[in-house]
């Protein structure tokens, strides 16, 4: 099993939105960074655990727990006119993939400022200068620490 932090803007999909969706599941659509895409396509597996992270908002931070609920498959938004359309993508040769993510539980918000205060998390990818990836792996020791410190 692997662990991940997946960022979503609450105005797009919040942890509350996910909790209210049919089957409490959402396709993690719209990722347009190759490294983040590769994480979903090549490394994520059904059952991997996810910190659901609210980003680009007044209080960014971990807002809940989720689980990867499907293998990677082509992101339909690359074929549809709109924000995530990619003219170079085709159904025969898709460029972008997503996984389905299923809600597990809403947590008290663990703000990025609080995460930064923890010496045990100093190497966590979300906290590195210049990191803008929407999906990052979480080391098992970081996952365990956050679970023990904030969520037990």
Q: Which of 69, 22, 72 is nearest to 46 (CA)?
A: 69
Rounded-to-integer distance, Cα 29 and Cα 96, Å: 9
What H or E segment, with its residue span, contains residue 141? helix 140-146
pLDDT recorded at residue 150:
97
Rounded-to-integer distance, Cα 13 and Cα 3, Å: 20
Checking if the pLDDT of 152 tops 90, the result is: no
What H or E segment, with its residue span, contains residue 16? helix 15-20
CATH number of the domain that residue 96 is part of: 3.10.590.10
pLDDT recorded at residue 88:
97
Rounded-to-integer distance, Cα 72 and Cα 27, Å: 10
pTM: 0.95
Model confidence over 30-52: pLDDT tens digits? 999 999 999 999 999 999 999 99
Give, in order, the Cα–Cα distances in Å from 127 to each of 75, 90, 104. 28, 35, 24
Structural domain total, the chain: 1
**Residue 66, domain extent:** 3-151
């Amino acid at each position: 099993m692997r662990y991940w932090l997946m960022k979503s803007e609450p105005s797009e999909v919040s942890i509350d939105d996910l909790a209210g969706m049919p089957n409490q599941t959402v396709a993690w659509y719209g990722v347009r960074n190759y490294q983040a895409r590769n994480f979903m396509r090549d490394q994520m597996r059904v059952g991997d655990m996810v910190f659901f992270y609210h980003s680009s908002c007044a209080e960014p931070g971990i807002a809940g727990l989720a689980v990867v609920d499907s293998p990677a498959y082509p992101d339909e938004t690359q074929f549809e006119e709109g924000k995530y359309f990619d003219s170079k993508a085709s159904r025969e040769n898709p460029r972008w993939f997503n996984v389905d993510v299923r809600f597990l539980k809403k947590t008290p918000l663990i703000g990025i400022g609080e995460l930064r205060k923890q010496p045990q998390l100093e190497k966590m990818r979300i906290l590195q200068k210049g990191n803008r990836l929407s999906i990052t792996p979480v080391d098992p020791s970081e996952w365990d620490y956050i679970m023990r410190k904030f969520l037990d």
